[in-house]
Amino acid sequence: MKYMYIVLLSCFSITMFGQTIISAGAYSAEDVTSPNITISAAEGLSGFSSLDTSIALTFTVSESTYNFVVGDVTVSNGSLSNFSGTGSLFTATFTPTTDGATSIQVLSNTFSDGVGNANTASNTFTWTKTTEATDGLTSATASSSAYQIKQDYPSSTDGIYWISNASINGGTPFQIYADMTTDGGGWMLLNSSGGGSASSQSETVTSLGLRRYIPRTRVEILALDASSVMLASGPSNNKNQHTIISTDSRPISALRSSSTSREGAATFHYNSAYTSFTIYSGSSWSWSKTCTPGSDTTGWPTLYHACGNASGVHYKPLNANATGRDWMSGGWYSTWIR
């Protein structure tokens, strides 16, 4: 009979004198369920890639917890900040350490619910921080120079690219022509002249077949981010047949200079800058002069004049019949920096 009484207690309520003194409805089973937690981000679903410098995380717990803290979160290639929240909802900012893959997870048994049940492991949230493309192939992906493009994208080939400079057109990207082959590549074309016709000034020079030279003020700015100068000359079918290169500070300093003095700091005459060039391809260059150069030898685009030496270097990128080496009619010549 005692056994029957226990069964009745577990199923029914007992009332004495109009009052309920035992009620099965008041009984509460023991909580043994572990809380689970889900990680999400405002910027995208787990596994996404973006250029974001940080992402906003949300940690959603299946029930209230009193001891979930930032230290319970395991991250790779990054760190958490601005951690806040109570109960079952928490937020934080994740900032990557470097570009590339990142991950965020809460391991099991790191926090608990109100009665001490330890949590289960969360999902592993992944995100890849990407670098903005600066391959120079479009205005939207403009780089800073031909040299930088070659460093970032070694497989880049000769051709037209986009670059930008904060001091030129307010940073608006513009096109250049780049030699990505000679001596490792990364050369930006400043002029292509000769071919029997006079050259003209242009904001850009995008082909060796054009008779153009970039304005002096722009050359001065572009040269600030360069350290080497290359001069080339040759016939129409091999415009870079004769090539010389200088990594010395004197030639690039001449291109940076705004001096307008004859044979001054803006010319290759100054401080014997011409002596620093070494032959990369083709035959020798004759720089000697026997008289005072003309009054136009004051800087870009007139860099050197071997006055009195018909076979010497007459480096004047606005002339029609000069190759940069001599007065060979119909020859081409060009100036490059990197």
Over the stretch 61-118, which tens digit does the pLDDT of each residue have? 999 999 999 999 999 999 999 999 999 999 999 999 999 999 999 999 999 998 999 9
Say whether pLDDT at 13 is over 80. Answer: no
- Looking at residue 12, its pLDDT comes to 47
The set of residues, in sequence order, having a beta carbon less than 8 Å from that of 44 and lying 6+ positions away, is 50, 55, 127
CATH number, domain 139-337, options 3.90.215, 3.90.1200, 3.30.70, 1.25.40: 3.90.215
pLDDT tens digits, one per residue of 122-180: 999 999 998 888 999 999 999 999 999 999 899 999 999 999 999 999 999 999 999 99
Say whether pLDDT at 330 is over 80. Answer: no
pTM comes to 0.68
Residue type, 7: V
Phi-psi region of 154 (alpha: psi -120 to 50; beta: other; left: phi over 0): alpha
Structure tokens at 213: 């030279």
Packing angle, helices 216-223 and 249-256, rounded to 10:
140
Asked if 172 and 162 count as a contact pair (C-beta separation under 8 A), the reply is no
Asked if 270 and 264 count as a contact pair (C-beta separation under 8 A), the reply is yes
- Looking at residue 1, its pLDDT comes to 36
Say whether pLDDT at 25 is over 80. Answer: no
- What proportion of the chain, given as a percentage, has pLDDT over 90? 77
The set of residues, in sequence order, having a beta carbon less than 8 Å from that of 140 and lying 6+ positions away, is none
**Alpha carbon distances (Å) from 74 to 47, 57, 66, 96, 108:** 17, 13, 19, 13, 11
Say whether pLDDT at 27 is over 70. Answer: no
CATH assignment of 37-129?
A: 2.60.40
Say whether pLDDT at 22 is over 80. Answer: no
Is the C-alpha dihedral spanning 148, 185, 168, 140 positive or negative?
negative
Say whether pLDDT at 319 is over 60. Answer: yes
Mean pLDDT, the chain, as a whole number? 89
Spell out where the chain has E strands: 14-16, 19-22, 37-41, 48-50, 55-65, 73-76, 78-96, 100-106, 125-129, 159-163, 174-179, 187-194, 200-201, 212-213, 229-234, 242-246, 278-281, 304-305, 314-315, 332-337
Distance (Å, whole) CA 81 – CA 131: 22
Taking residues 272-278, report their average pLDDT: 97
- Looking at residue 309, its pLDDT comes to 86
Distance (Å, whole) CA 222 – CA 210: 20
For the chain, the domains span 37-129, 139-337
- Tell me the pLDDT band of 327, cut-offs 50, 70 and 90: low
List residues bridging with 193 in a β-sheet. 333
> Three-class SS of residue 180?
coil
Asked if 220 and 253 count as a contact pair (C-beta separation under 8 A), the reply is no
Distance (Å, whole) CA 325 – CA 307: 13
Say whether pLDDT at 198 is over 70. Answer: yes
List residues bridging with 195 in a β-sheet. none
Distance (Å, whole) CA 63 – CA 42: 22
pLDDT tens digits, one per residue of 233-251: 988 899 999 999 999 999 9
Lowest mean pLDDT among 115-119, 182-186, 193-197: 193-197
pLDDT tens digits, one per residue of 34-55: 999 999 999 999 998 888 999 9
Say whether pLDDT at 23 is over 70. Answer: no
* Angle 309-313-318 from CA coordinates, rounded to 5°: 115
Say whether pLDDT at 28 is over 60. Answer: no
- Tell me the pLDDT band of 10, cut-offs 50, 70 and 90: very low
